[in-house]
Structure 1
Amino acid sequence: MVIVNLQLKVIPDKRQAFLEWFHGLLPDTRNYDGCSEVNACSTAAEPEAVDVISKWKSQEKYDAYLAWREEEGTLAALDEFLTEEPKFRFLTVDQQF
């Protein structure tokens, strides 16, 4: 299993529009082959930050999903909301309790 932490910095005056748009994408993400969980997270201390934490069967499954999102235009649309490039962290689960 791989946990993907997608770290986003949203333009402050576009935050609400971003959240509405982005939350509409999450059901398709969750239903994509290999995804077992997806969460959009925020913190009051850093209101421009949105972290997307998702669990995938493998990084290959996530890579296929990301290629699909790029092909259908989501990644280009995402750029319009961000102040900087997204950051990806891939965490391999070594042990689960």
Structure 2
Amino acid sequence: MIIVNLQLKVKPEKREEFIEWFYGLLPDTRNYDGCSELNACSIAGEPNAVDAVSKWESQEKYDAYLAWREEDGTLAILAEYLSEEPIFRFLTVEKQF
């Protein structure tokens, strides 16, 4: 199992529009094969930071999902909203307690 932490910095003038668009995508992400959990998070003191933290069955399942988002044009649209390149952090779950 992996946890993916997608860290986004949104252009301040596009934040409200971005949130509506981005949150509209998340049900399809959560329902994608291999995704078992998805959370949209804010960061205290950083109003233009949005993180998506998701749990996936495997890196391969996430890679298939990301390829789908590339093919359907979502990643190109995402780039228009961002003030910085997105950061993808991949955490391998070693042990759950």
TM-score by length of 2: 0.98
Structure 2 portions without partners, runs of 5+: none
- Aligned counterpart, 2:48: 48
Q: How does 1:1-97 map to 2 (within 5 A)?
A: 1-97=1-97
Deviation string, structure 1 residues 20-64 (Cα, Å, up to 9, x no partner): 000000000000000001111002311111010000000110000
CA distance in 1, matches of 2:75, 2:46: 23
Structure 1 portions without partners, runs of 5+: none
CA distance in 2, matches of 1:23, 1:48: 15
Q: Which has the higher strand share?
A: 2
> In the alignment, residue 50 of structure 1 is paired with which amino acid?
V
Partner-residue secondary structure (3-state), 2:46 = coil
> In the alignment, residue 13 of structure 1 is paired with which amino acid?
E
Number of residue pairs matched?
97
After TM superposition, the structure 1 stretch with the greater mean CA deviation from structure 2, 40-49 or 56-65, is: 40-49
CA distance in 2, matches of 1:30, 1:63: 14
Q: Aligned Cα RMSD in Å? A: 0.6
CA distance in 1, matches of 2:6, 2:52: 5
Deviation string, structure 1 residues 49-96 (Cα, Å, up to 9, x no partner): 101000000011000000000000000000110001100000000010
CA distance in 2, matches of 1:3, 1:44: 21
